[in-house]
Amino acid sequence: MIYRMTNEHVESVATIHESSWGKDELSVKLGREYINRFYQYIVTSKYSFGFVYIFDKQIIAYAAGFYDYQYFNKFFLKENLLFIFMTLIKRIFSCKMTLIDILNLLQDDKKLSKAQYRKYHLGALALSKEYKGVELGKQAIYDTNSAVLNELKDKGYPGCWGLCNFNNVPMRNLLLKLGFEEIDLIKMIKKNVVLYEKTF
């Protein structure tokens, strides 16, 4: 069953994020404390929201949406600037992050150069690893993402964008199944990402 994401869900959502997202993803490299803080901000910010899929009293999938992705990032950075700076320093000195990660982070705006719906975003989504490849898991991740899209559509927004690592074929297929179209291939250092958009 689908529920709106709240603070009580954050710990479980962060666990799924940390275990399901690729180890080369920047958020995973920043560590668990950063991931927790990110999802706590999603449920408290007026610019974001999320949904979780609960089965047998456990969260098995989640998806987040953004009413204004740029404003969310602006205020998240402003309110967590010292924490993020110190986290970056610690992760670099502990060899959890590299100069390449920083360079890719600095050119983050490049991802949206061809986006039509820059404000409205489907992002930060995952399925628990134990449910990957099974029908319940497929339905759970589809339904949570559909809930985010319906929320944005019901607000009267014209469309939204999503982003996916080029090598993440299952997620790319999910976005196509949800009605997204491939807009741009963005070449970054040692990885490529694909921009998708969906018109409501």
Q: Would 189 be classed as within a structural domain?
A: no
Q: Is the pTM of this model over 0.85?
A: yes
Helix (H, G, I), strand (E, B) or coil at 167: coil
Residue-range definition of the domain harbouring residue 69: 2-110+118-155
pLDDT for 24-82, tens place per residue?
888 999 999 999 999 999 999 999 999 999 999 999 999 999 999 999 999 999 999 99
Q: Would 91 be classed as within a structural domain?
A: yes
Overall number of domains in the chain: 1
Residue 107 has pLDDT above 80, yes or no: no
**What confidence category does residue 101 fall into, taking pLDDT thresholds of 50, 70 and 90?**
confident
Q: Which long-range contacts (CB under 8 A, 24 or more apart) does 86-93 make?
A: 87/30, 87/31, 87/33, 87/34, 88/30, 91/29, 91/30, 91/31
Q: Would 191 be classed as within a structural domain?
A: no
Amino acid at 35: I
CATH of the domain at 83: 3.40.630
pLDDT number for residue 56: 94
pLDDT for 140-160, tens place per residue?
999 999 999 999 999 999 999
pLDDT for 150-200, tens place per residue?
999 999 999 999 999 999 999 999 999 999 999 999 998 888 999 999 999
Q: Would 135 be classed as within a structural domain?
A: yes
Q: Would 173 be classed as within a structural domain?
A: no
CA-based Rg of the chain, rounded to a whole angstrom? 16
Q: Would 165 be classed as within a structural domain?
A: no
User: 200 exposed, middle or buried (CB, 10 Å; 0-12, 13-18, 19+)?
Assistant: middle
Q: Would 130 be classed as within a structural domain?
A: yes
Q: Would 133 be classed as within a structural domain?
A: yes
